[in-house]
Amino acid sequence: HGHDHATPRVQSKGINEDKYVLAQKHFVNQAEYIYDGDKVVVENVVHYENLSKEFDELMEKYGIDTNLPPKGKGGTYTDTANTKRLTYRDLDAKSIEIINKFAKPDFEKLGYQKVEEKFDEDYSLEAIVE
């Protein structure tokens, strides 16, 4: 009936195929969840930059009585007084380069503006939604 616990299970081939990549399934571009080729295959896309607002609207649409706190209430602070928040503007050029390489499909398909080395003052987190 049951699994022989003395015999280790063999992992199925697929998204976690590379046993040397820690938590590989968490490192999938967002575009892969949304698109099949060029076709959008999800009904609702919620953008991180508008997460609380869009999530709350989605819950209301489906009649679910829950919401998220505003994004500005959380975060990672770099001081003990919790006054200096760590943000995307604190990323160095090497980190930006790694993100640009990894998230290239997300930038291309989801309409986000890539940054080369440093964030300009006029940089917008908003996706250009067509």
User: In the structure encoding, which two tokens stand for residue 93, read together?
Assistant: 């050029």
- Asked if 106 and 30 touch (Cβ cutoff 8 Å), the reply is yes
Tens digit of each residue's pLDDT (9 = 90 or more) over 42-90: 899 888 888 888 999 999 999 999 988 776 666 677 778 877 888 888 8
SS3 (DSSP) at 38: coil
pTM: 0.60
What is the torsional sign of CA 89, 92, 98, 101?
Answer: positive
* Better-predicted residue by pLDDT, 30 or 74: 30
Give bridge partners of residue 22 from the DSSP assignment: none
